[in-house]
Amino acid sequence: MSAPRSRILTASIGAVAAAGLVLATLGLGAGTTTAAYTDTTAAETSQSQTPLTSQSARMFPTQTRIANTITWLQSDGTLWVWGFRGNGLSGSGSATVPNNNTAPSAVILPNDGYAGPGRRSIVKVAGTSQDNYYPTDINTTGLAALSDDGQVYTWGGNSANNIMGRPSAPTPFTLPGLVSIPGRVIDLTSSATVYMALTDTGDLYTWGYAQARGATGQGTATASSAAPSLIMSGVHSIGSGMWNGWAIRGDSSPGDTTTGVFWWGWANTGSLYASDPSGDNIGANANSPTRSTALSAYATSGCDTVGVIMGSADDHCSIKQLNGHYFGNQLVTSDGQLVTWGAGNQYGTGRPYVSGAESATPTVVPLPNGDTVASVSVTVDYVEVLAASGTLYIYGRYSFAWGPNPATGAVSATNIVTPTAITAFSGPVAAVGGFGYSGTALLADGTLASWGGSTQGGNSNLYNSIRPDWYTTQPTNNAVQGILPMTPPGL
């Protein structure tokens, strides 16, 4: 039996301490099952029908690494896509949606073999593009969706670097096609070019482009299987950085090298790129899962079960989140502390730069006013920290591709050294997301907000990924956007 969709969806948006806000927004209780969604999908009798755009179902921001393709996940399990929609990224069967400035595209999964009520629904999305920077290269772009019955579907790329994880037949890459993974998948994430899927039995599979950096964790620097490859078993939960992955495998036990936090992928020393994802500041790539001494010290309790969605209500591990961006890495503890390490000289750690070695050392970064962390989302250059209070804090580099001024919400090029509250919102924030050089947020009143849009670091909104209106044609907008509210249908 599949896990309750509301529970998976809540976990997928990373609202740990903010779960109460999100569930209140949805109008759902923690025990709600998939059957509760039949009311909002009653009119959708065929998977080929476009979902209703007048319903009051909520849209949630997502965390991907696909530079200029924006995705919002609706509470009925529909995925909405706009921005760059070449390479089949619309999931509609079309190779390109003209001009990237028309109405959003609705992605609906195939319903064959689905045993649940209604239609198969999407509960989490992940996306890739090289370095979360190049938006249009079909050799590295792709979207992947996790369904409520534990299957993974991909579209929007090609077979050159095994990003799709499946052949182009019988389902072309312009449509969501099933990826063959043994068992039931409960969590899905990605680095810039590699997907990672965790099953309910604790098996971890990867596929994609290793970038000669060991990013697949499949044993060599360039290893890249055409289909998902099992790289680790007995895994509690997973996280992803820009060029790496993490897996928690049991409570860390002194002298037991099989427990704690493991990582694989690209590593550097000091304040170079994202530094060393292991937190050990060794600077050597890991081509297969390798134990981190520094991070394992945080895996102290509650991590012994297998197949858990990181940060969900079922996750009792002392580590609630692991993610990373171009210039740093973030760990969130079960008591809401933020731990960072990376390139401090590029504003990647949320603390003043002292030295490369100091920046590369995992260190607790307190939020203002004693706030605790609910979840963290990332863009290429800056980090979005959602506090349990509903306040959104940001830190990172604005000088390259710009970001929102904390007080006004307007475009700013001023770098932010330490977590700073974004006070430009009209009310509390319930969930946040990120992609490329752009951020997204759901406010507690149901309003959606987004900002950025920069393309390959250039200060433009070329693909209209940031837009003020929902279902209307947009004129091309070549300016990076400040915080831009957008009200979805039905509100």
**46, part of any domain:** no
Sole residue written with tokens 């044609």: 473
How far apart are alpha carbons 242 and 131 in whole angstroms? 7
Domain count, the chain: 1
Q: What is the pLDDT of residues 32-57, one digit of tens each?
A: 223 222 222 222 223 333 444 444 56
Query: Domain containing 282 — which CATH number?
Result: 2.130.10.30
Q: Is residue 133 domain-resident? A: yes
Domain-embedded: residue 38: no
The per-residue pLDDT for range 270-314, each reduced to its tens digit, is: 889 999 999 999 999 999 999 999 999 999 999 999 999 999 999
Burial label for 244, CB within 10 Å (0-12, 13-18, 19+), is buried
Contact 122, 59 (CB under 8 A): no
Residue 267 Cα distances to 59, 245, 326, 339, angstroms: 36, 11, 12, 18
Instruction: For the chain, state the CA radius of gyration.
Output: 20
Residue 43: per-residue pLDDT: 27
Residue 477 included in any domain: yes
Q: Does some domain include residue 364?
A: yes
Q: From CA 353, how far away is CA 360, in angstroms rounded? A: 11
Whether residue 331 lies inside any domain: the answer is: yes
Confidence of residue 20 (pLDDT cuts 50, 70, 90): very low
Q: Is 141 domain-assigned?
A: yes
| Domain interval for residue 409 | 5-29+55-486
**Model pLDDT, residue 32:** 25
Q: Find, among 372, 436, 404, 376, the residue nearest to 133 by Cα.
A: 436
CA–chain centroid gap for 264, Å, is 18
| Rounded Cα gap, residues 481 and 451, in angstroms | 5
pLDDT over 60 (residue 126): yes
For residues 464 and 480, give the distance between their C-alpha atoms in angstroms, rounded to a whole number.
Answer: 10
Position 491 scores a pLDDT of 55
pTM above 0.75, yes or no: yes
Q: Which single residue is written with the structure tokens 């050159």?
A: 160
Q: Closest Cα partner for 183 from 211, 151, 139?
A: 151
**Angle formed by the axes of helices 19-26 and 5-12, to 10°?**
130
Structural domain contains residue 44: no
How high is the mean pLDDT of the chain? 88
